[in-house]
């Protein structure tokens, strides 16, 4: 598996997109935007054009919502066991096209093949996990009083909108779409404009595996028109959104008029906190993995390294050494760890923090520069001597960029860790169990890992606090979002009913 051989394969996979473009997919058909408008998607590898993409707007969203609404009665009434069978077939079909999905994702997003080769496997695992819960998703509980028997059950909420970002788009989309479909909802998906390609593969794969037409629809386009219309549409009952915090608040405002249920997975500025009693070798491996894998374009990246001052210098030296050794290069090179960032616009944003770091008085201990003059390549970077009030410590940079801040003791670590607007994930390194208990009680984060990098367990809840999100994914939490709980009360006996008026 050499780079040359992978580039040749990628050319083959890209050829159909170059020829056909990336169409919208509505009611089982691949269709251009109703307006005929298009935009281009480029590869961050060399900024070359990959394909022309349908630029959906209000009319396309309306057509997709109509299709999702028409498909809803049959899909939602299908027994869960039948839905499960179809969704398992979708998982198998995803696995069968794993290489195509991986190569397409690498070329469209710049993510390294060593990570994207697992994207389809993770996506298929999402389908299997949620499919297995479909048969009993409607079940609720029974509560009894002396006079009444209350029974709860769950019903799919209706057609829903799924709006996704450009980082690991295939895996992320399946994480939202699989539970929605398993719940019995139909879906209109609006993928990110920077990374439209694998959403098209997913809907094609799903329909080839037996998903009825209209159950999953895809409309490409920009947030301000296609995305906005989806969030405002009266027939869309809920919006599952993954993206930036400020977009989340816009969506909340846009959905207010139609009382939209929302689930938000937003930004993060996640601390990895290393005490001097920790296993430093493992802490350094985990911290560097969590910021330099996936190009650092990851909501749960450990973007703030908080290190006890007794070991600050040693840990920073070791992290800097790793950062300098990491291979930056073509995403299809099997040796590459850091590929190009998604788009020149995002690259400029990341590069701007190198100037900010210098202006704010931090030290650039590794990286801090663009790599090469072609494509969006940025060196793995470590800022040291930073304080938590600096922009590099407060703002989500969303690149392979780590900000290291020293702390004195537990209290100081907690204060710094919590002093940001975000609260998605936190990573804690200590061998003192009591300290781990105290710290995890006080850390403001929806997810914490002690002495570990982020390891996703699908039955566990995923989501953030503060500006990092609303709601939880995974396990039964996903079903609670995509379904309505209803209660029916039966009399247990001829109980006494109050008589009014005589
Ligand atoms: P973004 O918010 O710019 O865009 C996300 C999606 O929202 C895109 O499809 C976009 O077209 C759409 N959108 C934009 N404006 C809209 C509007 N007014 N109405 C409806 N839709 C609109 O985010 P991005 O730059 O694509 O992605 C990166 C962000 O996603 C980062 O902040 C990252 O932390 C976050 N993220 C969070 C998680 C999580 O689980 N918490 C996971 C992945 C990414």
- Ligand 1 site, residue 453, Cβ cutoff 6 A: no
Which ligand 1 atom is the nearest neighbour of the CA of 473? 40
**pLDDT tens per residue across all 502 residues of the chain:** 799 999 999 999 999 999 999 999 999 999 999 999 999 999 999 999 999 999 999 999 999 999 999 999 999 999 999 999 999 999 999 999 999 999 999 999 999 999 999 999 999 999 999 999 999 999 999 999 999 999 999 999 999 999 999 999 999 999 999 999 999 999 999 999 999 999 999 999 999 999 999 999 999 999 999 999 999 999 999 999 999 999 999 999 999 999 999 999 999 999 999 999 999 999 999 999 999 999 999 999 999 999 999 999 999 999 999 999 999 999 999 999 999 999 999 999 999 999 999 999 999 999 999 999 899 999 999 999 999 999 999 999 999 999 999 999 999 999 999 999 999 999 999 999 999 999 999 999 999 999 999 999 999 999 999 999 999 999 999 999 999 999 999 999 888 999 999 7
Closest CA to 366 of 408, 305, 297: 305
SS3 of 347-370: HHHHHHHHHHHHHHCCEEEECCCE
Q: Based on the structure, what is the number of domains in the chain?
A: 2
Q: Do 384 and 477 belong together in one domain? A: no
pLDDT digits (tens, 9 = 90+) for 129-173: 999 999 999 999 999 999 999 999 999 999 999 999 999 999 999
What is the token pair recorded at 464? 């953030």
Nearest Cα neighbor of 258 from 235, 284, 224, 292 is: 235
To the query of whether residue 232 is one of the catalytic residues in this protein, the response is no
Distance 244 CA to ligand 1 centre (A): 4
Same domain, 368 and 473: no
Cα distances (Å, whole numbers) of residue 278 to 117, 275, 429, 436, 450: 32, 6, 5, 11, 11
**C-alpha closest to that of 264 among 495, 84, 423:** 423
pTM exceeds 0.85: yes
316 close to 385: Cβ distance less than 8 angstroms: no
**Structure tokens given for 78:** 């299908």
In Å, what is the CA distance from 65 to each residue of 197, 328, 358, 364? 21, 42, 49, 49
Q: Within this chain, do residues 262 and 290 fall inside the same structural domain, yes or no?
A: no
Please give the Cα distance from 237 to 482 (Å, whole number). Answer: 9
379 and 363 both lie in a single domain: yes
| 109 CA distance to ligand 1 middle (Å) | 15
Asked if 179 and 137 count as a contact pair (C-beta separation under 8 A), the reply is no
Please name the residue whose Cα sits nearest to atom 11 of ligand 1.
223
Given the DSSP bridges, would you call strands 363-366 and 381-384 parallel, antiparallel or unpaired?
A: antiparallel
Q: Which domain holds residue 416?
A: 271-450
Query: What tokens does 470 get?
Result: 């609303």
Are 235 and 329 found together in one domain?
no
Q: Establish if 128 belongs to a structural domain.
A: yes
CATH number at residue 114: 3.40.605.10
* Spatial separation of the C-alpha atoms in residues 477 and 485, rounded to whole Å: 13
Q: What phi-psi label fits residue 149: left (phi over 0), alpha (psi between -120 and 50 degrees) or beta?
A: beta
Same domain, 292 and 192: no
């Amino acid at each position: 598996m050499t780079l040359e051989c992978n580039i040749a394969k990628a050319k083959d996979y890209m050829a159909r997109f170059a020829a056909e473009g990336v169409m919208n997919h509505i009611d089982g058909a691949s269709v251009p935007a109703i307006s005929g408008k298009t935009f281009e998607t480029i590869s961050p590898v060399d900024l070359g054009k990959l394909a022309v993409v349908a630029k959906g707007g209000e009319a396309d969203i309306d057509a997709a919502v109509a299709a999702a609404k028409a498909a809803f009665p049959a899909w939602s009434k299908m027994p869960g066991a039948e839905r499960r069978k179809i969704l398992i077939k979708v998982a198998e079909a995803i696995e069968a096209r794993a290489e195509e999905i991986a190569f397409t994702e690498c070329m469209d997003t710049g993510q390294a093949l060593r990570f994207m080769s697992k994207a389809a496997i993770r996506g298929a695992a999402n389908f299997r996990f949620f499919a297995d819960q479909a048969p009993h998703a409607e079940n609720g509980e029974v509560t009894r009083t002396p006079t009444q028997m209350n029974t709860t059950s769950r019903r799919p909420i209706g057609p829903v909108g799924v709006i996704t970002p450009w980082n690991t788009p295939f895996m992320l989309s399946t994480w939202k779409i699989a539970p929605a479909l398993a719940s019995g909802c139909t879906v209109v998906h609006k993928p990110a404009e920077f990374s439209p390609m694998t959403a098209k593969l997913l809907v094609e794969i799903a329909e080839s595996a037996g998903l009825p037409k209209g159950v999953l629809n895809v409309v490409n386009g920009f947030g301000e028109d296609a995305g906005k219309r989806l969030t405002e549409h009266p027939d869309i009952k809920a919006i599952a959104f993954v993206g930036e915090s400020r977009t989340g608040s816009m969506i909340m405002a846009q959905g207010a008029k139609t009382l939209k249920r929302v689930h938000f997975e937003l930004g993060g500025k996640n601390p990895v906190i290393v005490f001097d009693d920790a296993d430093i070798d493992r802490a350094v491996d985990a911290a560097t993995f969590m910021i330099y894998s996936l190009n650092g374009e990851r909501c749960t990246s450990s973007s703030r390294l908080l290190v006890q001052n007794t070991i600050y210098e040693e840990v920073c030296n070791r992290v800097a050494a790793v950062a300098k050794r990491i291979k930056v290069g073509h995403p299809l090179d099997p040796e590459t760890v850091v590929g190009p960032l998604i788009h020149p616009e995002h690259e400029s944003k990341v590069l701007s923090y190198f100037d900010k770091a210098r202006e704010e008085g931090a030290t650039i201990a590794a990286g801090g520069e663009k790599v090469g003059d072609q494509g969006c390549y940025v060196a793995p970077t470590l800022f040291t001597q930073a304080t938590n009030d600096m922009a590099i410590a407060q703002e989500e940079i969303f690149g392979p960029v780590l900000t290291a801040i020293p702390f004195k003791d537990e209290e100081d670590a907690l204060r710094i860790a919590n002093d940001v607007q975000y609260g998605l994930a936190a990573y804690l390194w200590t061998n003192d169990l009591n300290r781990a208990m105290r710290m995890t009680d006080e850390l403001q984060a929806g997810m914490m890992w002690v002495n570990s990098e982020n390891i996703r367990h699908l039955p566990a809840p995923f989501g953030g606090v503060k500006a990092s999100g609303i709601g939880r994914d995974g396990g039964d939490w996903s079903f609670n979002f995509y379904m309505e709980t209803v209660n029916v009360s039966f009399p247990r006996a001829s109980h006494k009913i109050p008589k009014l008026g005589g």
